[in-house]
Amino acid sequence: MIQNKRLARTFLSRFICAATAIGGGMEVSMKNNLLSMFNAGLYAVFLQNLVFSGGFGTTEAIRTAKKNGRLLSASLAISLFSAVTTVICQLLTTLPRLATLPFIWLAALYGGVLLGLYLLAAGLSVLLPLPRKTLVLRRIGMYCLNTIVFAVPLLSFRLGYSIFQGLAYGLTAGLAFAAATLLINAGMATLRENKAIPPMFFGLPATLIYTGLLALAFTGFTGAPLTF
């Protein structure tokens, strides 16, 4: 009985040591992951804004800025789809066979993943009793199958992001889109009040120039376009 007690104590002490080591290691790696996720998010929103520094999703940003009331749904859709697509694509890329594919075929695979996710989401929207289903189905295509959502997994791959970084990058893509759209919308409202704009610039030309100048302002962060 004494021997059993000794064995139990040894086992327990070893178990506690192992758990502490693993927990401590996890804590450190979790901190690193959180930091890297924060960096990736900061990159997406400010340092190299996906819309202004990269040009991705500019059409969607300008057209959403034109219509009040759609920003929240658009940003949420972009965040969700970017994040999920990126995570799945990153997981797929860990397979040795897929990791060695040429970039264009890898991009086609990523596109297929995005398409599959979209069809799944749209199919669920059709089948489930969602509020405002018609609105959801009407807008889901534009906000889920666009350049910004498709660019996020490709950029994550090119930038060598980890899964956590890719997840953060995807989640903050919606935030970057929202920031860009809000700025463009506020600018469009300002331009609408400005009666001195010459007729040849009033409307879309002034909006495009305004967006370009906003993009110039964001270039001050890194001084380089978002390329991959």
Site for another protein in 115-134 (CB under 8 A): 115, 118-119, 122, 125-126, 132, 134
| Per CB under 8 A, 178 contacts another protein | no
| Per CB under 8 A, 137 contacts another protein | yes
**Of the ranges 7-15, 33-41, 86-94, 181-189, which one interacts with another protein (CB under 8 A)?**
181-189
Q: In terms of C-beta density within 10 A (0-12 exposed, 13-18 middle, 19 or more buried), how is residue 58 classed? A: buried
* Shortest Cβ 23–another protein spacing (Å): 34
Q: Which of residues 3-42 bind another protein (CB under 8 A)?
A: none
What is the spatial distance between Cα 182 and Cα 179, in angstroms, rounded to a whole number?
Answer: 5
Measured from the CB atom, the residue of 10 and 59 that comes closer to another protein is 59
41-60 mask for another protein (x: CB under 8 A)? -----xx----xxxxxxxxx
Residue whose C-alpha is closest to residue 139's, from 81, 86, 90, 196: 81
End-to-end, the C-alpha distance of the chain in Å comes to 67
Q: Which of 150, 163, 165, 167 binds another protein (CB under 8 A)?
A: 150
| Per CB under 8 A, 67 contacts another protein | yes
Q: How many chain residues interact with another protein (CB under 8 A)?
A: 96
Determine contact, residues 172/40, Cβ cutoff 8 Å: yes
| Per CB under 8 A, 100 contacts another protein | no
Residue whose C-alpha is closest to residue 148's, from 120, 121, 176, 167: 176
What is the spatial distance between Cα 36 and Cα 164, in angstroms, rounded to a whole number?
Answer: 8
What is the spatial distance between Cα 178 and Cα 200, in angstroms, rounded to a whole number?
Answer: 29
What is the spatial distance between Cα 185 and Cα 188, in angstroms, rounded to a whole number?
Answer: 5
Measured from the CB atom, the residue of 91 and 108 that comes closer to another protein is 108
**Of the ranges 19-27, 33-41, 170-178, 212-220, which one interacts with another protein (CB under 8 A)?**
212-220
